[in-house]
Structure 1
Amino acid sequence: MGTFFLKPFAGQKIQRAVYEKSDQLYRIQFNELTYNPFTGKARITDVKLQADTARRRQLGKEAPDLIFEGNMPEISVQGFQLFSWLWGKKLSVEAIVLNQFDLRLTQFPNTKPDEPEVQKTPYEMLNKQFEHVKIGRIQGNNWTVKQVDRRTKKVRTLSVQKLSWKVDDLLIDEKGHLDTTRLWYAKAIEVNLDSLVLPNQDLSASVQVKKIQLSTANKRLQIEGLGSIPSYPRMEYVRRTGNTSYTKAVVNHIELAGLDLSKYWLQKKVKVEVVTVEGGLVNAFEVRSRSSKMDGPRKPFPHQLYQQLPFQLDIDSVKVRQVDIVYDELNPKTNQTGNVNFRRIKGVIVSLSNDSLRKTNVCKADFQASFMGVSSLQTHFTFDMRSPRGQYTCAAELATLDLRVLKSTFKPLALMDIETGIVDRFQFRFSGDQVKTSGSGTLLYHDLKIKILKPDEKKGFKIRDLFTFAANKVLMYESNPMPKKEVRQGKISYERIPGESFFGILWRSIRSCLSDSALKT
């Protein structure tokens, strides 16, 4: 009772307004438009928004670079005070619900000349139509979003599944931006999604997320199943991309507590008190190649990538628990892979920021791990967050280790088998940047005996008896210190080649210290 079917009148007006306001680029269609002025309930069904691609070409440089299209079964509105809008320019609505929106976005190259962007508040953008906007709740349920990026030669597609969101108590007026109890004019914002896939520019890898939950009221963001996933198996990835390194990383759970987004809108600043990272695996793989040119471009380190974020991100601390790192390296001479691993990593990172005006530019990280699953490793890093060269330091101490656990590492990579050997303690410290590392370490060990190998088609490896004898008796120290001798220090010196990952540089720098400690000069 009291419901008016408005499509023949208001419907045509809405369609004409969309068509004319978009410079004839967009058309909107819907099946049914009803409104009950006594209850304030309104309903629009089978909504379709379409873009005219031919018209976009006609607009030339005036065409927008982002096009929206989509279908929605229903838009429902509650408590809509029509007459307050018509006579008082005040938009007041209790609730707007947008169900099952299938949204499609297409991003084209920017054809407009770069002009200084004028920042306007939402009120400044709307005050010609509305003096006051108050909406109790805006809610989107079970959306699907697909964005096609055509700005590069390879077309990228971003995919979001099962997106739901809610905005509570939205108030836009002349003084709304001064209300510190609101974020983006709302008392609370919630976002939930069940799947996100974001490919990189060359489609060689993608960022994938299983689940995201955001609550601005609780200042909390939770992410489940965050991964950086290459598009191909590792050897195929190396062949297709021309890179010598491959990294796959998956984190089971990430939680951001004390998340402050209040300054993002106008200042592009985000503040986080604590980030918790729990459970995960980083698998880094490289193909050994010293034939690469030494003067080529080098991939930025993780802290250099952090500096390049398009917004300021300040994190007081990051707590890491139960993360594993596995580093694999393929030796083309043996066509076999050796690895080292760090299990059950836990630790804390403090003062992680890309704010150029921050008092301290040093980020510190302390970690504990189980090296090869058997020996305790304590590691301390510092990262210069303002260094264009990616400067950092690394210091560590390794407890007692039976070197025979490294058989699977040294056989394929160094053509060496460890027969006996015990590390009593290993301490090292070095500094580095995106080009080289330098430092020193002390490896205390005893009873070291090795076998020198060569590849063998039938057996895999064959012992080189003469070289083995020479290595153990002439070229290598059996212990450090030797009887009645001083403790020897090993030198760390390594020059990075283009394409090497951060993990690869760390391992090879440490390996240079091991060699310098054990070999006679």
Structure 2
Amino acid sequence: MRAITNKISKATSTPKGKIIFFGIVIGLLAISAGALVYWSFYRKQIVRTKLEDAVRKKSKGLYQVHYDKLAMDEVAGDLVVTNFSIQYDPAKYKAMQEAGSTPPALLKIHIPSIIVSGVKTPRALLNKEIVGKNLQIINPVIDIIYTYAGRDSARNVPTKEVYEEILGDLNLIKIDSLLISNASITTRDIKTGEIKVELKHTSVQLQDVMVDSTAWADTTRLFFSKQADIRASGISWKSREKPYLFGLDSVHLNSTSKQVRIGGFHIDPLLAEDAFIRSLPRQEDRFDFSIKGITISNMDFPALFNEEIFADSIKVETASFKIYRDLGYKSGIRGPVKIFPHQSLLKIPVPFRLKKLVLANTFIEYKERAVISRQAGKVQFYQTNAVITNLTNRQDAAAVNNTLTVDIRTRFLNKAPLRVIWKFYLFNPDGRFDITGNLGAMDATQVNALTVPMAPARIENGRINSLSFNLAGNSSNMTGDVKLLYKDLKVSLLQKDEETRKLEKKKLASFAANIAIKNSNPSGKKDEVRTAHVNFKRDKHRSIFHLSWKSLYTGIKESAGIKNK
């Protein structure tokens, strides 16, 4: 610095040198002043033109940009844009349709306020680099309209590198903090206008955002950032085929903790039980599910946004699963062949691997309206706790361990402890699975909540000491052993009175039934325990639960001395 000062002093020591020096200084000041005046006068028009040209070029003229006000501070590097919007041009869209180049989706975006601060203007001008401190996008409303057209309609990941699409002619984009607050995002069908998915009160906070080839290759980054925090108060969508509304409440994703927290997930039928059943073309189940307090741990976020799901565990604080079926509704109409749950997992298009799923404090109810009595019986399980391990649809993971295990501990009808272990063999061509279980002691009359509407039969007396079963199922049948230990069993068979429409006791049939039924198992102290050997043929149009329950019920009847026809 001193050398430069000495040279300037030496050069200006003569009158001629002074004139030349001050001439250069004045010239530079004049150029700078002129540039500043020009920039101050035309800056907004330059920004507007560049922005509109960029959007028009990228979208091939489909989109137009509008905003009300743009305020800039070059010294501080600040920019404020109000009422920014991007709209598609209907005339251009129609022309693209006629030309056979219809885009798979259209966008409508309105942002009341965009605030950019701390942008280093010289780097933007000289190095084609945008480096700044903060970017805030406040209260954006984003409407995604699906046209379901174009060759890329099913593509989720662009063929070109994402960072190249974002950068355009720039070499680098670097922002210390990016905040999107209170966003509303909807997707809809262009033909019906019906909302498909809706995200409410969504916020995204990204720290240390960098967009370039280096950041793209950095596997520790998510959305080009070192830290990502995403929240949404609610996400909802409707089923395409059946009257259901699906929803997620209070969603929170944090890349630092590698956790996802969800306040609740629910499947809500949009019609009451009977109205829902009548809306279906054939006999099917109606689901009403509610899952609360969901925590996903050690989530692989880069994989998640590459359409893969890898996590260590999911824990659920409480849940309720209710299923309803009317056996008298269109029973003659056959539906499609049902596949088992572990076979359904393999058909999910997104690769996933989950080590453990833990359900706590869960209520399960299967409600079935019978054909003869037209009454509904309920199989209910209270205080259910379940641990599911090795959930995956990846063949490489199944090659190491192909057994998906479901270990359930519950209270049957809230009266007796029940433990059931399911084992599903992944990628088995015959859909193989096993069930073992044990039911504790209970008063036999407490089962009347099931037997009266479903059998119809009423247990007048008796004690169930235990029930154990070991069954193996596949796509064709279920086989195995069922052992029911009970004492002093007495039943009454029921029929519906045509006048009162109530279930009345069939005296003669009940007398005959009690003769046929062995009132205890074992019958005496020295008698052997009767064990039923089950071989039940599967109805391929019914679920795995129907196969399992009917096989178990067949074994229970045989244990009681009732011959299955």
Please tell me whether residue 408 in structure 1 is matched to residue 449 in structure 2: yes
Amino acid at match of 2:178: I
Map Cα deviations across residues 120-166 of structure 1 (whole Å, 9 max, x no partner): 44334456522222111111111111111358x89552111111111
Structure-1 residue corresponding to 2:79: 42
Structure-1 residue corresponding to 2:250: 211
| Distance 1:76-1:434 versus aligned 2 partners, 3 A rule | farther
Please tell me whether residue 136 in structure 1 is matched to residue 176 in structure 2: yes
1:516 shift after superposition = 2.0
Check conservation: 1:418, 1:449, Cα contact below 8 A: yes
| Distance 1:442-1:263 versus aligned 2 partners, 3 A rule | same
Query: Among residues 120, 123, 127, which one is paired with 1:84 in the alignment?
Result: 123
| Distance 1:108-1:301 versus aligned 2 partners, 3 A rule | farther
Please tell me whether residue 446 in structure 1 is matched to residue 487 in structure 2: yes
Q: Deviating runs (4+, > 6 A) in structure 1?
A: 113-118
Check conservation: 1:41, 1:79, Cα contact below 8 A: yes
Please tell me whether residue 183 in structure 1 is matched to residue 222 in structure 2: yes
Please tell me whether residue 302 in structure 1 is matched to residue 302 in structure 2: no
Map Cα deviations across residues 169-221 of structure 1 (whole Å, 9 max, x no partner): 11223322443432343111111111111112225212111211110110000
Structure-2 residue corresponding to 1:364: 405
Please tell me whether residue 385 in structure 1 is matched to residue 422 in structure 2: no
| Distance 1:246-1:299 versus aligned 2 partners, 3 A rule | farther
TM-score (norm 1): 0.92
Q: Which has the higher helix share?
A: 2
Amino acid at match of 1:402: D
Where 1:298 maps in the other structure, the secondary structure is coil
- Counterparts of 1:402 and 1:499 in 2: how far apart (Å)? 35
| Distance 1:165-1:4 versus aligned 2 partners, 3 A rule | farther
Amino acid at match of 2:337: R
Please tell me whether residue 146 in structure 1 is matched to residue 186 in structure 2: yes
Please tell me whether residue 227 in structure 1 is matched to residue 269 in structure 2: no
Please tell me whether residue 396 in structure 1 is matched to residue 426 in structure 2: no
1:301 shift after superposition = 3.7
- Counterparts of 2:536 and 2:330 in 1: how far apart (Å)? 15
Map Cα deviations across residues 411-453 of structure 1 (whole Å, 9 max, x no partner): 1110100101211111112122455433221111111100010
| Distance 1:495-1:231 versus aligned 2 partners, 3 A rule | farther
Query: Among residues 5, 8, 11, which one is paired with 2:48 in the alignment?
Result: 11
Structure-2 residue corresponding to 1:431: 472
- Counterparts of 1:143 and 1:434 in 2: how far apart (Å)? 48
| Distance 1:47-1:156 versus aligned 2 partners, 3 A rule | closer
1:332 shift after superposition = 2.6
Check conservation: 1:294, 1:498, Cα contact below 8 A: no
Where 1:241 maps in the other structure, the secondary structure is coil
1:41 shift after superposition = 1.0
1:468 shift after superposition = 0.3
- Counterparts of 1:127 and 1:226 in 2: how far apart (Å)? 37
Please tell me whether residue 278 in structure 1 is matched to residue 320 in structure 2: no
Structure-1 residue corresponding to 2:302: 262
TM-score (norm 2): 0.85
Where 2:271 maps in the other structure, the secondary structure is coil
> Where does the alignment leave 5 or more consecutive residues of structure 1 unmatched?
none
Moved more, 369-378 or 390-399: 390-399
| Distance 1:19-1:353 versus aligned 2 partners, 3 A rule | same
1:251 shift after superposition = 0.5
| Distance 1:154-1:18 versus aligned 2 partners, 3 A rule | closer
Check conservation: 1:4, 1:36, Cα contact below 8 A: no
Work out the number of aligned pairs and report it.
517
Structure-1 residue corresponding to 2:559: 517
| Distance 1:35-1:433 versus aligned 2 partners, 3 A rule | farther
| Distance 1:492-1:100 versus aligned 2 partners, 3 A rule | farther
- Counterparts of 1:273 and 1:391 in 2: how far apart (Å)? 26
Check conservation: 2:104, 2:153, Cα contact below 8 A: no
Q: How much identity, in percent, do the aligned residues show?
A: 22
Moved more, 168-177 or 119-128: 119-128
1:269 shift after superposition = 3.0
- Counterparts of 2:443 and 2:63 in 1: how far apart (Å)? 71
Check conservation: 2:63, 2:87, Cα contact below 8 A: yes
Query: Among residues 456, 472, 480, which one is paired with 2:521 in the alignment?
Result: 480
Please tell me whether residue 492 in structure 1 is matched to residue 534 in structure 2: yes
1:508 shift after superposition = 2.7
1:509 shift after superposition = 2.8
Moved more, 4-13 or 401-410: 4-13
Where 1:286 maps in the other structure, the secondary structure is strand
| Distance 1:502-1:222 versus aligned 2 partners, 3 A rule | farther
Map Cα deviations across residues 78-97 of structure 1 (whole Å, 9 max, x no partner): 11223312320212121111
Structure-1 residue corresponding to 2:290: 250
1:514 shift after superposition = 1.3
Structure-2 residue corresponding to 1:464: 506
Please tell me whether residue 193 in structure 1 is matched to residue 214 in structure 2: no
- Counterparts of 1:217 and 1:229 in 2: how far apart (Å)? 33
Q: Which has the larger radius of gyration?
A: 2
Check conservation: 2:261, 2:296, Cα contact below 8 A: yes
Check conservation: 1:156, 1:203, Cα contact below 8 A: no
Where 1:213 maps in the other structure, the secondary structure is strand
Moved more, 301-310 or 244-253: 301-310
1:105 shift after superposition = 0.9
Check conservation: 1:95, 1:135, Cα contact below 8 A: yes
Q: Which has the higher strand share?
A: 1
- Counterparts of 1:435 and 1:199 in 2: how far apart (Å)? 34
| Distance 1:170-1:472 versus aligned 2 partners, 3 A rule | same
Check conservation: 1:301, 1:390, Cα contact below 8 A: yes
| Distance 1:265-1:388 versus aligned 2 partners, 3 A rule | farther
Moved more, 310-319 or 115-124: 115-124
Structure-2 residue corresponding to 1:98: 137
Please tell me whether residue 328 in structure 1 is matched to residue 367 in structure 2: yes
The structure, 1 or 2, with the larger RCO (C-alpha pairs under 8 Å, 6+ apart) is 1
Amino acid at match of 2:443: D
Check conservation: 2:167, 2:211, Cα contact below 8 A: no
Structure-1 residue corresponding to 2:7: none
1:391 shift after superposition = 3.1
- Counterparts of 1:326 and 1:372 in 2: how far apart (Å)? 9
